[in-house]
Amino acid sequence: MIKDVCIAAANMLGLTEDAQQLASEACEQETADKYLRLYGLVVSEIAEEYRRGENADLSADSLTDEEASFTGISRRILAYGVAAEYAITEGLDVAELWDTRYKSSIAMAERQPVRIKSRRFV
């Protein structure tokens, strides 16, 4: 679930109050909306910039929705992205660290194989 990705991102950043709130049934709407927006930014970036939109459902209305599925992109990589986006938008000192970790993970992730149709030469 998207909630799991966001909880992992909050824990990575040491935001235990946010993580606990996201895990609870009584999560404040403002917190849920913030993390859902950050998650949406990450998924859109993966689909557009990294050309990995092969089977991804990019629409998410709630934290209880299933996360988008990309070839080679794990929940951990999505959490790195959410952590990076959070750190960047909040101006945290660790923003560059998380952005580098996220982009490095994307670069090393497995890609869907490209299949080229064979042709006969005449």
Q: Would you say residue 82 lies in a domain?
A: yes
Q: Would you say residue 122 lies in a domain?
A: no
- The tally of domains found in the chain comes to 1
Q: Would you say residue 76 lies in a domain?
A: yes
How does pLDDT run across 7-63, given as a tens digit for each residue?
999 999 999 999 999 999 889 999 999 999 999 999 999 988 887 766 566 778 899
Domain that includes residue 76, residue range: 2-108
Q: Would you say residue 88 lies in a domain?
A: yes
Record the pTM. 0.87
Q: Would you say residue 120 lies in a domain?
A: no
Q: Would you say residue 117 lies in a domain?
A: no
Closest CA to 68 of 100, 46, 38, 101: 46
Contacts of 6 (CB under 8 A, 6+ apart): 22, 35, 36, 38, 39, 63, 79, 82
